[in-house]
Structure 1
Amino acid sequence: MNIRDQFKLKVFQSEGTEYEKLFNDLMKLSTPGFRSVKPHGNIGDRGNDGWVQSEGKYYQVYAPEELFKNTDEAIKKVKSDFVKLKKYWDSISPIKSFYFVLNDKFKGVSPHITKILEEIKNENGLDDAGVFCNASMEELVLTLRQDAICSLLGVSHTETNPLYEDKKKVREFLDNLSFVTEELFESGREAGYFFPSNVFYFIQNWKNKDWQFQRLLSSNPITRNNQLNMREQLVLMHNQVSFDQNYDDIGVVFKFKPPYDLVGRDELIESNKDSMGEFIQKFANSYKIVRDYSV
């Protein structure tokens, strides 16, 4: 998975205090001067889950399991948290900005919540106030250094590297064709006379699953073109066997069996071997490029 997908997975796995921790960890990595606030006994955090004291910037986190079912509750929380915030914290560091951090699961936020925050901003003369949703957090994640991203998401450096992900996808593509390449490279041009049945039926099934093929195409143009060529050559091999009535499925292989009394029979057999050999050679040339990229 790429960084965006890794972050989304982390968000979906985080509820309540776990989401609050994710937010605090991100802010500490991305925002100079940010400090989280630990709740104290029955007085809680007094409407402040994190702040940048020197800038008068405050954050309050709300992470219900299903936000769209809790819009009214979220509106109440915005109002009550700001009242608590202003009553206690405004005297410590005057409130200039107030952000309501919402785990919206990337679905967006009700305009009613945004409206309430705009009212709070205007009524209290704030420089800024608004919703800080998952998209806002994602923007911050993408500004971090690679090592900070790995620390935040709990993944290795390679797992967040787009090139790693692309090569992994290409390796899966090659793995799906492993027995095909083994059979064809061993047979060579002789596959024009004895074509492996398991390869024939694999291609027949595979070429009807375009979605599966497209999923494993590389984002690298050269690699992608060679993957497409590998598929094209396999389809041409399949068509040669499928459209020629002289091929007979005898179990393990399709044997090319033109009539014994056919004039030019031997030449026809050699011609079929040559054409199949060309398909396999073109397939092999592309295979080498794709394989080298995947390493």
Structure 2
Amino acid sequence: MSIEQSAPAAKAGWLRIRMAGRPRLIIILCMAWLAFVLIVAIGADHLAPYSYTAQSLLSRLKAPAVLGGDPRFLLGSDGLGRDVLSRLIYATRMSVLIAIVGSLIGATFGTLMGFLAAHFRGIVEDVIMVFVDFQASMPFLIIALAVLAFFGNNFELFLVVVGLYGWEVYARLTRSLVLQAKGQGYAFAIGTLGVHPVRIYARHILPNILSVLIVQVTLNFPELILLETSLSFLGLGIQPPQTSLGLMLGEGRNYLATAWWTGVPAGIVIFLTTLSISLCGDWLRDKLDPTLKVAES
């Protein structure tokens, strides 16, 4: 192939690589929505027009102002006369907070168990993997319902239960990645120098596997939102007078035929948020996957 023929091919290949690195329009829209949700969650105290607990029985089930209803309630009011928009803003903050804290708990605990299993091997690894297999084989919703029903519902216990969801995925993933990293030359060379294993794991192995764990967090995050929604919908999650997206959805199910605006906005936020995080997680996984190759024509 001549230089004149190879130059356009090289330029075309460079353009494909450059375009492959750019997020698609749908991913940009998803990122914009997630940024908007994060802004709403952080600035809920300043964005909400009313307190989420403020009631007015004379203003029960008012239609949204955008549909010609009471101009005081942009998204209408619920069965107790509370502003749906204000409750939606605070519910978004609560659900996002639970999902973030739960993701940190699950990722930290699961990653730690994975490191312990990969380091000690033997009986320690067998015990950890038995718990991993048990967690993976048992529907977590049943475990959560049993724990919350037996020990009673409080916010701290609810956070721990939500946080333990998916820890077995982090443990199994971390164990396999650490075992693979320990077999590579750099880890073996550092170990022969007498460096403490904790330092090897924290300074050398963990940074190399962190991108994979971050992708797993993005994939697990929407599942935590749906778990909180399910438990709150069943009455075992966030309790009144607090509010969450799942609780709003549960309270609004009795008014779907007469006042749909009490629950549908929460459902829309749940749908758009989980969809956006899932799509961004898939895009980030493809972005950080070292085995991903751009096809050559």
Global fold match (TM > 0.5): no
Which band: TM-score by shorter chain? Answer: under 0.3
Instruction: Tell me the TM-score normalized by structure 2.
Output: 0.25
Higher relative contact order (CA 8 A, sep 6+): 2
Task: Give the structure with the larger strand fraction.
Answer: 1
Instruction: Tell me the TM-score normalized by structure 1.
Output: 0.25
